[in-house]
Structure 1
Amino acid sequence: MQTVSLSFFRFPKGLARVWAFAQMGLARGPMARVPDIGTWKLCGSGVGEGFTPWPNWGVYAILATWPDLETAQKRTKEAPVFRSYHDRAEEAFTMFLAASSARGRWAGVEPFEVTAEPWSGPTAVLTRATVKPSRALAFWSQGPSVSRAIGENTDVRFKIGIGEVPWVQQVTVSIWPDTASMARFARGDTPHGRAIRAVREGDWFREELYARFRILATRGTWEGVDPVANLELAA
């Protein structure tokens, strides 16, 4: 069963952040050589809740796909490129996921195999879009209201905005205790719902991807806690 790993690393100020920024280019060769790896992406992050256009120089992420959970857990712990991130980070958190639904493309391909049955329990959500340059200003004008809304939502367990290219290639990741709470936030007359309608009406995206995942396991902490503590995981 395909397993998706999504690892987040927080680096202290100073040389560690310089190193982490440089890895956006330098780590590409080592990542490609990790045994058993499928699709992989190196991402930076944005400041604030949810997502913003302003970079956070202290937080970076690695997404990868693997043939199964055991391989994912082993490689993200033992592969040299992952070890180098862990050795320099002051905090790290990894989710191991199985896609329960996915639609759209990422850089022209469909990276996630749907291998988990739909369910209503704890859910991770990933959205990814390439914004048309001509629509970037309009897109980011919606960002502050959505960011504030997700930050104020007491249901969401974890939220972060990451991306490959600032301003135009953006990814949002969030964890919800159940699909009902996620749907309440995403739909209807809410900041997020209004933003989605504006996207559809304005044809803002060149490419987009939306996926839901069962959370199989986690490793590490974020801001001192395990974001899925006390949730019944799907493994």
Structure 2
Amino acid sequence: MSHADHDWIVFHRVRFAEPVDGLGNPFPGPKSAAAWRFYPASQLSEDNMRNFNNDEWGGFGIYPNREAAQAVFDVPEAHLSFLADPVEAYHALIAPYAHHGEVNWRGETLANDTFAVAKEDPGGPLVVFTSAGFEGRGPEDAERIVAFLHGVYAVQDYYAGLPGNIRQAVYSGVGVDGGDGITVSLWQNDAAMMQAAYKPGEHRGQMDNHKKTSRMDRSSFTRARIIASKGSWKGCNPVSEIERVAV
């Protein structure tokens, strides 16, 4: 695989000593990134809407080649000023190999074209990114948006209880920079992800509900491989957990 035949992702997950309010206040990304989406972990406020004030933030930059992505992965502190503050940070160099759906991660909604993916699966630990978005956010949309949000958290809780799921998180973007939010999940293996996402269970049930009630206007999924990673996410590098079980 050449270095220039697909897009690359550098994912970052950080935890600050105190909550940081992201409402209308995005962190700047690397100048070399073709797109940058970095958001606070999503929580529901008392009015059942998303709260953008959190000590956990996560997201990624999208790069047109490995060289640009590798430079940010190798020395993220040189490209991201906020890395002077976190009490914990995790970084992953990632190659996408499958992408489908509509998502606003490049400043506009694109259909099946947000990532140029690798022609062949490069192998390695599996990470899945998903998104959902809404064309309207008026009072008439409130009920379905709240139902959708509750469904997202139900799926996250479901994944967290599965032995094949290593990490999961939801990062909310619309209030930060107007982009669609990000869910991320790391898996012990492909079979564990396929079982959790497509066999009977919480995720399958939520998707069936969406087909009946149209809880969102657009969605996407991206499957990718972690090529290299470093740092700590909830106390350790999650890839080390995958490798320990695999031995």
TM-score (norm 1): 0.81
- Going from structure 1 to structure 2, the CA distance change for 1:87 and 1:190 (only over 3 Å counts) comes to same
Q: Which residue of 2 aligns with 1:91?
A: 88
Q: How far does the alpha carbon of each residue in 1:48-84 deviate from its partner, in whole angstroms, 9 at most, with x for none?
A: 9xxx9455610112311113334223225256551x2
SS of residue paired to 1:105: strand
Gaps of 5+ in 2: none
Aligned equivalent of 2:8: 3
Q: Equivalent of 1:184, from 195, 201, 212?
A: 195
1:212 aligned partner: 223
1-side partners of 2:150 and 2:43: how far apart?
A: 16
Higher mean Cα deviation, 69-78 or 96-105? 69-78
Distance 2:120 2:187 in 1: 17
CA contact (8 A) 2:8 2:66 kept: yes
Please state whether the residue corresponding to 2:238 is helix, strand or coil: coil
Please name the residue that 1:37 is paired with: 33
Question: Structure 1 residue 173: deviation in Å?
Answer: 0.2
The Cα offsets for residues 3-51 of structure 1, whole Å up to 9 and x where unpaired, read as 10110110002xxx4xx435962534xx3xx443211112111259xxx
RMSD of aligned Cα (Å): 2.7
More helix as a share of residues: 1
Give the one of 98, 103, 108 matched to 2:100: 103
Which residues in structure 2 correspond to 1:74-153 (within 5 Å)? 74-76=71-73, 77-78=75-76, 80-82=78-80, 84-107=81-104, 108-109=109-110, 110-118=113-121, 122-131=125-134, 133=137, 134=141, 135-153=144-162
Choose which of 174, 182, 188 in structure 2 pairs with 1:171: 182
CA distance in 2, matches of 1:12, 1:68: 34
Contact kept in structure 1, 2:156 and 2:169, CA below 8 Å: no
Matches within 5 A, 1:66-81: 66-76=63-73, 77-78=75-76, 80-81=78-79
CA distance in 1, matches of 2:27, 2:150: 33
In 1, Cα distance between equivalents of 2:8 and 2:22? 27
Residues 100 and 118 in structure 1, CA contact (< 8 A), matched pair in contact too: yes
Q: Give the number of equivalent residue pairs.
A: 218
- Quickly say closer, same or farther: Cα 1:112–1:226, change in 2 above 3 A: same
